[in-house]
Structure 1
Amino acid sequence: MAEGGVGACPQLFVVDTQTSYISVPSGKGSRWAGVGQKFLLLLVGLTLLGLVVEGFFLYRLYKKTEELSLCKYHPLCQNLSHPQTSGQEGGTILSLVGHKESNDIPTVPQHQDEVQQRPFAQLIGAITPVGENNMVLWENIDGETVTHHMGYAKGQLLVEEDGYYYLYSKVTIHADKPRLLIQHKVMKDTSSYDNSIELMRSKSSRHQTSTKASDKGDLWSSFLAGIFHLQSGDKIFVTLESIDNMRPGPTDNLMGAFMIFPGKILQHHLSPTL
């Protein structure tokens, strides 16, 4: 302090504690955030791609399983599943499959389509059913008649394809006579034999002691059915004793056939082991 003078004012420094600071984002942090977003999008894309690929392989597996399930109805696959049986057929299966090495499953036709292509027929009683040699004639054009991959001529059903067929026949007769022999047969003509072959037969002998008025409406019906192996060119027909007493009409008389298995089933007889 100087003598006789006024002292100098001291210097004051004020610190403002309310000053706000603006944080400047770091350039390095923003760069890492963008990389993370891109990586996340890449993971999502790979996940979706994996789901699509997995769905594709599941669909392929489903189709393979479906074809294998249908394979049991096809003779080719049946023979392939039994190598001992197919080997005994002299290389037939090898000629069908060929020598191409491939992991693809052979194409198998749809079982439903195969069934729809099988032959069948149904004939109904004709207005004039009496033919030669007691052969029953049928109606094959009008009414509930149908012939699919089969033919008809002069009372005979014509076979066009080899296979096992379910045959059936129904006839109805006026049984109002005192003595009446009724014999219903299903016959087959084939090129292998000169004479007709009897497939099914129903026989009945009626003896009445009185002829009352109520007996005038007495009817007798016969129904025959069975499974038989038929070849292309075979002819199936029905004969009936006392055919003059046959009651005509489409509802009382029927004849039909439909294939239940194509071709011929191979039957292997195993010799006893010594």
Structure 2
Amino acid sequence: MEDRSAASHPQVFVVASQAGFSPVPRPVEKNRWTPTGSKFLLLVVALAVLGLVVQGCFVYKLYMKTEAFSICVSDALCRNMSNSKTSAQQAGSLKSGASEGGSNEIPPVQTLLGPKPFAHLMASLNFLPGSSNPDGEKNVMQWIDQDGDAITHQMGYNNGRLVVKEEGYYYLYSKVLVNAAEVCSLIQHKVMKDTVAYGQSIELMKSKRFRCWTPKPSSVKSSGGEDIWDSYLAGIFHLQSGDEVFVTLDSIHKLRPGPTENFMGAFMISP
């Protein structure tokens, strides 16, 4: 009986709480930013900064050129002497050549004006309102091309038309002063171009004014029937060799004469 009772009870095992425990070591994480990766990042940042600096330099140079060109367009002296540096070099070479050869001859004026074509035409002081055009063309303004301040350099002139000899981009301008004191009048001031490639005149620039008084105001009567109106046109256009540029004015008999009040001109900006 005692053996059966002893076999029916399971054996009890005691686990010692002070048993030794060795923790499993954690894997060491590798540093993502290795020295090679950081160097590559610094190189990319340096290249980006260098690109911004170079782009800023180009933008600054373009701004300075644009500003210089705008100042030159607004200055009459710069317009007439657009290539003063080249002109000075030519004058220096001519002067040195004369000193070496022992000649005291003054070089022609045309050799000192630079290589780029330009022209400035003015209306005659002898123009009388109501007079007809010498060449019979309707409303085509006539100019003086070789007297006083009027000049043409490497450009031709024929019956009010400025003839282009060298292809390029030109700055064209024209100003007129008219008396618009009629009861109803439409005045149109145009800069036109004739080219071999097209069968009729091409309109480059235009300004117009229409005024109609009913009845005519007393202020115009008291001032001797004058209502002065001036028009100025200017722009840049591509012209080919053989093109002719001219100015037309509706009711040309209304023009107020004077070389400083009526003129036209052109000068090359770039070939």
TM interval, short-chain normalised: 0.5 to 0.7
1:62-73 pair list within 5 angstroms: none
Counterpart position of 2:6: none
Please point out which of 212, 229, 233 is paired with 2:221. 212
Deviations, residues 72-109 of structure 1 (Å, cap 9, x unaligned): 9xxxxxxxxxxxxxxxxxxxxxxxxxxxxxxxxxxxxx
Q: What SS does structure 2 have at the residue aligned with 1:116?
A: coil
**Structure 1: where are the runs of 5+ without partners?**
1-71, 73-109, 263-274
Deviation of 1:215 (Å): 5.7
Relative to structure 1, the CA distance from residue 207 to residue 117 in structure 2 (aligned partners, 3 Å threshold; closer, same or farther) is same
1:1-274 pair list within 5 angstroms: 112-113=85-86, 116-126=114-124, 127-128=126-127, 130-131=132-133, 132-208=137-213, 209-210=215-216, 211-214=220-223, 216-262=225-271
Relative to structure 1, the CA distance from residue 158 to residue 214 in structure 2 (aligned partners, 3 Å threshold; closer, same or farther) is same
Q: What SS does structure 1 have at the residue aligned with 2:173?
A: strand
Q: How many residues align?
A: 154
Quote the Cα distance in structure 2 between the aligned partners of 1:252 and 1:111. 27
| 1:112 partner letter | K
Deviation of 1:174 (Å): 1.0
**Structure 2: where are the runs of 5+ without partners?**
1-60, 62-82, 88-112
Quote the Cα distance in structure 1 between the aligned partners of 2:191 and 2:226. 26
Deviations, residues 209-262 of structure 1 (Å, cap 9, x unaligned): 324222623211000000000011000000011111111110110100000001
Q: What SS does structure 2 have at the residue aligned with 1:112?
A: helix
Deviations, residues 165-215 of structure 1 (Å, cap 9, x unaligned): 000000111112111110000000000011000000001101123242226
Relative to structure 1, the CA distance from residue 111 to residue 241 in structure 2 (aligned partners, 3 Å threshold; closer, same or farther) is closer
Flag the structure with larger Rg: 1
Deviations, residues 139-186 of structure 1 (Å, cap 9, x unaligned): 112221010000101000010000000000001111121111100000
Deviations, residues 115-135 of structure 1 (Å, cap 9, x unaligned): 921000000012338532110
TM-score by length of 1: 0.53
Deviation of 1:113 (Å): 1.7
Report if the CA contact (8 A) 1:157-1:237 is conserved: yes
Report if the CA contact (8 A) 1:182-1:204 is conserved: yes
Quote the Cα distance in structure 2 between the aligned partners of 1:214 and 1:142. 33
Quote the Cα distance in structure 1 between the aligned partners of 2:121 and 2:146. 9
Counterpart position of 1:101: none
Report if the CA contact (8 A) 1:184-1:202 is conserved: yes
TM-score by length of 2: 0.54
| 1:125 partner letter | A
Quote the Cα distance in structure 2 between the aligned partners of 1:219 and 1:111. 38
Q: What SS does structure 2 have at the residue aligned with 1:133?
A: coil
Report if the CA contact (8 A) 2:141-2:246 is conserved: yes
Deviations, residues 31-55 of structure 1 (Å, cap 9, x unaligned): xxxxxxxxxxxxxxxxxxxxxxxxx
Give % identity.
54
Quote the Cα distance in structure 1 between the aligned partners of 2:196 and 2:226. 42
Report if the CA contact (8 A) 1:176-1:215 is conserved: no
Quote the Cα distance in structure 2 between the aligned partners of 1:242 and 1:146. 27
